[in-house]
Chains A and B, each alone.
Chain A
Amino acid sequence: MSVIVPTTLAEALAALADSPSATVVAGGTDVMVEVNFGHRSVSDVVMVNRVAELRTWRRDADVLHLGAGVTWSEIEASPIAEWVPALAQAARTVGSPQIRHAGTVGGNLGTCSPAGDGLPVLAALDAVVHLASADSTRSLSFAEYMVGPKRTARRPGELITGVTLPIVDGWQGYSKVGVRNAMVIATASVALVVDAGSVRLALGSVGPTILRCPEAEVFAANNVDFTSRVASSEVVAQFAELARAAARPIDDHRSTAVYRRHAVGVLASRLLRRAFPNE
């Protein structure tokens, strides 16, 4: 076994080029659970939590670039929290302070669980995921990147370097349901973003990937008043129904499909009401 601890992106990419199937570890909060329980044996590991280029973020006008190694603790704090409040809300629900100090946005993308807390927000914001290998780089929309439960378009030898997000003027929020108020994996989660006359809705934990809801989005955009932030109770109810219809939940050890479908409707209606508080 070899554990490589690069401190520059070039070193990290060179290590992955030498060992394309190496396990990439950022915070370790997903990988180590599998290792501890014997569900994954690691041979070659490339640690990326000390790669300087991945640990940074920057804002260029209305675009925020988050390095893959930015932690949830950093995302839930100022100034990132003011720029992408829905992502900060999601960050605050990731595990516990211990998990948020270690876990990263890149790790959420790397694991790509449908229950990943940050992912509905990235989907609703039409985030772009950046990948690099020793000899090339490419950028994918979130929808292109996540192809199934814990399955992504990342190729062997590629590293997630970061994600870019638009900074929007409109309201945005994230809600999730779990069995308790802290330290919980989402049973169902919803992100809602209002931007320039559009409403974007993404559902987590209710399908093989994060699900956008085009019908609900178009319906909302055509039936709310963006200027005075008005949505009738009928519109909110129909929006929730369209969110429920878009869900593709399953029964598993964490919940049932019936409950999950119900929950995303409740969460979607709550978020729409917060975005459009006037009846």
Chain B
Amino acid sequence: MSEIYQLHVNGESRDVLDASPGESLLYVLRERLGLMGSKGACEQGECGSCSVMLDEQLVCGCLVLAAGAVGQRIVTIEGIAPVGAPSDVQQAFVDAGAVQCGFCTPGLIMATHSLLERSPSPSEMEIREELSGNVCRCTGYGRIIDAVQRVAVARRGVS
């Protein structure tokens, strides 16, 4: 039996057609809506590469039942900034060398935006704890933490 429902993604209402029962939000975003920015790896909430915002809360897209997210506001990495005009967090990741293979990067960008909205001047300990749900196997995290701190400093400078 297929389902037809609408999801509110990046400010638009999107029809989800031919969905099967039990599909995760991550699966629907990638396979039904063509939004490939959120990555799928562990499918059990451990790696954070599928991190999206759901009603202003950072969650793992793989653990959200897509059909249960009807009416909730979903923001994916594609909704953070248009292609060619990166957000300050995205630019800081590039500048700090925080991107290597890049697979974890969309999730980390989402987590960093979420962190800095709640805590504009996080300590290193707070950054490590807040990003503990996003696994990176390349960088060793040092440059990622550097990128987060750069954004925090830059935002303080302009406010």
A-chain residues with CB within 8 Å of residue B45 when the two chains form the complex? 29, 32-33, 95-96, 98-99
Q: Is B71 an interface residue (CB 8 A)?
A: yes
Residue in chain B with minimal CB distance to A41: B22
* Contact call B21/A1, Cβ cutoff below 8 A: yes
Q: Is A42 an interface residue (CB 8 A)?
A: yes
Give chain A nearest CB distance to B129 CB in angstroms: 7
Give the distance in Å from the alpha carbon of A73 to the alpha carbon of B58 in the complex.
11
* Contact call B63/A28, Cβ cutoff below 8 A: yes
Q: Which of A32, A47, A96, A101 contacts B62 (CB 8 A)?
A: A32
* Contact call A98/B22, Cβ cutoff below 8 A: no
Give chain B nearest CB distance to A146 CB in angstroms: 23
Give the distance in Å from the alpha carbon of A41 to the alpha carbon of B1 in the complex.
13
A-chain residues with CB within 8 Å of residue B62 when the two chains form the complex? 32, 36
Known: A28-B65, A182-B132. A33 touches B44 (CB 8 A): yes
Q: Which of A3, A37, A95 contacts B65 (CB 8 A)?
A: A3
* Contact call A35/B111, Cβ cutoff below 8 A: no
Q: Is A183 an interface residue (CB 8 A)?
A: yes
Q: Is A105 an interface residue (CB 8 A)?
A: no
B-chain residues with CB within 8 Å of residue A31 when the two chains form the complex? 65
* Contact call B57/A35, Cβ cutoff below 8 A: no
Give chain A nearest CB distance to B155 CB in angstroms: 20
* Contact call B51/A28, Cβ cutoff below 8 A: no
Q: Which of B51, B111, B114, B129 contacts A182 (CB 8 A)?
A: B129
Give the distance in Å from the alpha carbon of A73 to the alpha carbon of B71 in the complex.
22
* Contact call B22/A42, Cβ cutoff below 8 A: yes
Give the distance in Å from the alpha carbon of A97 to the alpha carbon of B21 in the complex.
27
Q: Mark B118-145, 1 if CB is under 8 A from A, else 0.
A: 0000000000011011110000000000
* Contact call A183/B46, Cβ cutoff below 8 A: yes
Give chain A nearest CB distance to B60 CB in angstroms: 5
Of B44, B68, B111, which is in contact with the most chain A CB atoms at under 10 Å from its CB? B68
Give the distance in Å from the alpha carbon of A31 to the alpha carbon of B21 in the complex.
13
Residue in chain A with minimal CB distance to B134: A96
Q: Is B36 an interface residue (CB 8 A)?
A: no
- 11 inter-chain pairs at a CB distance below 8 angstroms, sorted by A residue, are A5-B71, A28-B65, A32-B24, A32-B45, A32-B63, A33-B44, A96-B45, A97-B132, A98-B48, A98-B60, A99-B60
Using A96-B133, A183-B46 as known contacts, list a sample of 6 further A-B pairs with CB atoms less than 8 Å apart, ordered by residue number in A: A3-B65, A5-B71, A25-B68, A32-B65, A36-B24, A183-B133
